Amino acid sequence: MRPTELVQKVSSILDASLINNVRIRGVVIYDKGYYKLSDGENAITLNTAGDLPVGAEIEVEGVFKPNLYSTKEYSAIYPAISVISYKVLSEGENSQRIQQELAKALREKEYFGFWEFFSRALEQKEVLIVGLIYGKSAQVGQDFKTAFRSSAGVYWEKVDFIELETSLSDDELAKAIKRAKQISADAVFLLRGGGSKEELSRVGGVSALWAVAQANLPFYTAIGHSYDRANSIMEQIADGTFATPSIAGAELGRLVRFFAELQTLKNATNTNVKPLPVNQKSLTTYLLILALLLFLGAIFIKLLNALLKH
């Protein structure tokens, strides 16, 4: 028997022995992309597709079962509850206040429309710094840059990408956003490949939302495949959303190329219709000299006629 088979066997045995529903109460916390129910000493993972009220005390009804986590380095089985339903017992002391403060901060955050922001930024800076946040060892970063270069053409050097790899858990994502602010990024893209609705809904959380509000940076998302929309809370507060990382990269490249070519055209037009290097003062001087010459010419002709008559 291989190690993987043994772990799966143990997991199936535990599954079979824990088929009854349970009721359990505790405080909801959000840790490393998962909701958990804590009593202050231990926490149990809650498997749910919906959002839960972080900081509130709730009573959960669900099926208690083991979760299997296995990698090449190690395997682990940990307890979890598949949530059937829950009821809120108390909101918690700070939960409502924190939610109100966060909502206010997000409302006050400056809005950065995609075309409006980048068209203005490209006029002000020779090279833009754009942060790309994505999961560790993810392909989406390369997909974004490849699509960008293809669309931008010879103008791809007008954007310098800073890649920020993270686990995309709430705390780690918040750190990446703060890091983008520290390195003076002009804008940030959050990239993530496809997955189940439950997985995508775990991208980001309260800490990441606070980071976006406080950084006040242009923040755009490209999470999932073309049919995965509005699953992550981060999409709901973004300045712009794209169906896939490749589409986001292509749109940015297209915008960069458009404005670069427009600027080149403007420069060429200004060069072709450049006025003569004669200012208003010089023109006035020339006209006065011409008038004086005409006046003297008229006097000379009169004198010449008078001499001829005599």
Residue 279 located in a structural domain: no
Residues 58 and 107 in one domain: no
pTM exceeds 0.95, yes or no = no
- pLDDT for 104 equals 82
CATH number at residue 208: 3.40.50.2300
Residues 217 and 126 in one domain: yes
Residues 191 and 249 in one domain: yes
- pLDDT for 249 equals 97
Q: Is there a contact between 78 and 67 (Cβ–Cβ < 8 Å)?
A: yes
| Between 82 and 249, residue with greater pLDDT | 249
Residues 154 and 212 in one domain: yes
| Between 16 and 190, residue with greater pLDDT | 190
Residues 162 and 66 in one domain: no
CATH number at residue 15: 2.40.50.140
pLDDT digits (tens, 9 = 90+) for 227-239: 555 567 788 889 9
pLDDT digits (tens, 9 = 90+) for 194-213: 776 666 767 888 888 889 99
- pLDDT for 290 equals 73
For 89: left if phi > 0, alpha if psi spans -120 to 50, otherwise beta; the answer is alpha
Distance CA 93, CA 228 (A): 35
- pLDDT for 170 equals 81
SS3 192: strand
Residue 292 located in a structural domain: no
List 24's β-bridge partners, or say none. 60
Residues 106 and 246 in one domain: yes
pLDDT-derived band at 277, boundaries 50, 70, 90: low
Residue 31 located in a structural domain: yes
DSSP per residue, 267-278: HHHHHHTPPPS-
pLDDT-derived band at 301, boundaries 50, 70, 90: confident
Residue 226 has pLDDT above 70, yes or no: no
| Between 142 and 29, residue with greater pLDDT | 142
Distance CA 239, CA 219 (A): 6
Range of the domain at 180: 101-263
Q: Residue for token digits 């009804």? A: 61
Residues 181 and 252 in one domain: yes
Distance CA 99, CA 234 (A): 15
| pLDDT-wise least confident of 58-67, 72-81, 121-130 | 72-81
**At what angle are helices 245-272 and 114-124 packed, to 10 degrees?**
50
- Mean pLDDT of all residues belonging to the chain: 81
Q: Residue for token digits 């800073």? A: 162
Residue 162 has pLDDT above 80, yes or no: yes
Residues 45 and 160 in one domain: no
Residues 176 and 221 in one domain: yes
Residue at a domain's end among 75, 92, 109: 92
| Between 90 and 190, residue with greater pLDDT | 190
Residue 115 located in a structural domain: yes
pLDDT digits (tens, 9 = 90+) for 118-128: 999 999 999 99
Q: Per-residue pLDDT averaged across 83-92, rounded?
A: 81
| Burial annotation 71-100 (CB, 10 A radius, 16+ → b, else e) | eeeebeeeebbebeebeeeeebeebeeeee
* Total count of domains within the chain: 2
Residues 67 and 209 in one domain: no
